[in-house]
Structure 1
Amino acid sequence: MSSTVKFHGKAPLPMRDGVTPSYLWLPEGDWPDLISFMAHNYPAVTEVQWRERMARGDVVDGEGRALGPDSPYRRNLRIFYYRELEAETPIPFEEEIIYQDEHLVVADKPHFLPTIPTGRFLQETLLVRLRRKLGIEDLVPIHRLDRETAGVVVFSSNLNSRGAYQSLFQKRLVQKEYEALAGALDGRDFPFLYRSRMVDGDKFFIMKEEAGEPNSETMIDVAERRADGQVLYRLWPHTGRKHQLRVHLAALGIPIVNDAFYPVALPCKEDDVSQPLKLLARAIGFPDPLTGEWRYFESRRSL
């Protein structure tokens, strides 16, 4: 099956309600018409729904010409369409824009809001919300936060300078600071560096540690000891492994409060937003590749 991705050139369909069109290339194959291929290869959208989209003119080729159910199947034809969801549960927390210029948009993401469209989330994502709010079609996150994590996310709004900012992350020139609420850790002098080898877990959505050369490291310090015995930790990840901070604190015996994945993956809470993961991307800093000045952005949220 061919894959679908977001198009980063000039698409023949405009942004609609914050959503830019997806596209696919038709692979080698022998199909009597376009609808036969689409209904067979993309069953998440029914044939009736594909026909409705085509009737509205929401399925076009690379030149913007409308495609219909009886359009001939042609290898390497590029098809544009809008991703749609029948129903989407509203996420009752608001993002905040903390900085904007001609190159960057910096947002303060709430817990439970995905950074980009995925699975059952489309309109209720930080990217689509910002595109709707700002009207910037070519808005792209330079990095991402998990849905469960709140805090600072940096977006590029200018294609000409995007590569320069993206290279900062590739070269590890970005300083990230997090906060996490967890139990007390005894027998350690703070701050200290925790290192381990992280690999994919037994379930596709989690990670685990194993013996071997470390490939992840986090600096850990205490920011505040609270009366209820919980501790607010300050964390500086030196690497960017998936779920790194959650895995590291769980391995130390102090899993982050309300972590549904570590140390044990609990049943999915679906749309329950009553117990946010107590993990916050507090701040991000980097040398601006255009001016050389140090840029620093801090979340206004707290745990």
Structure 2
Amino acid sequence: MNQYSDLTSFLKDGAPKLLKGPVALIFAEDEVELDATIRHHIDAGFRHTVVFAMPEFSIAEDVAEQIFRVDYNVRTPTALETAVNGVMRATGDIWIYYCYNAEFLFHPFCEHRTVGEMIAFNVEERRDTVLTYVVDLYTGDLWQNTNAVCIEDAHLDKTGYYALARKDRWNNDLDRQLDFFGGLRWRFEEHIPAPKRRIDRVALFRNKPGLVFLPDHLFNDPEYNTYACPWHHNLTATICSFRTAKALKRNPGSTFDIDTFKWHNSTPFEWHSQQLLDLGLMEPGQWF
């Protein structure tokens, strides 16, 4: 394991080692399913995995040997954009992905195609991003799994997702940009601040000089924020995430209002890309 005592030392001595991508940046807010998150993304085919975590967080030995570990407080208000922009400035023309612990990337046909193969196809389509939708996962039994997380009993919403045109400061529609909503952030929106309700995230992208990652999961290059190129639909991916369910149960303002996350549109999560494709939660574009 390559271990670094803070972000500065990693950007100086570790990031220059990331000569080839794709690189996964995993931000650990706590230890919940941290090992499972790391294993999932290593298995997905990322060339390097960087884990930002508090020093006291434990990581299993078998995965610790395969990662860059950076001591870092992910819970500070600007932790995500500070680290992502730092890695972008310290590396070159590589593909970068970011997520939190208890989040799992699924892309079309991921059971037999690596994330690198997906990127190769995307490059052929002259796309520098893969738009991802954050699909909320939650346990079916909050009495047994009080933190809302259980991989063996994960559920998701099979309907209730929608998109609205993204506006500029003059209230004009932005070209090929949409704000996507749904899942727990929609069903329990009274507990979610309005700026945090979107479920779209440009989580996989190609780094380039001058690119800046913004606090709202967008970039300073408008083309990076589009859902497709001008001539046809592009593939998209899904991040299946326990993060919102976990936060709603951890927050004193919402935990006592929620006895269950299940409703009539809940369905067990099968941990397979075909289910997500069938539900329309991601699409293969022209990739077959």
TM-score band w.r.t. shorter chain = under 0.3
TM-score when normalising by structure 1: 0.23
The higher relative CO (CA closer than 8 Å, separation ≥ 6) is in 2
Say which one has the larger Rg: 1
Give the number of the structure whose residues are more often helix, by fraction: 2
TM-score when normalising by structure 2: 0.24
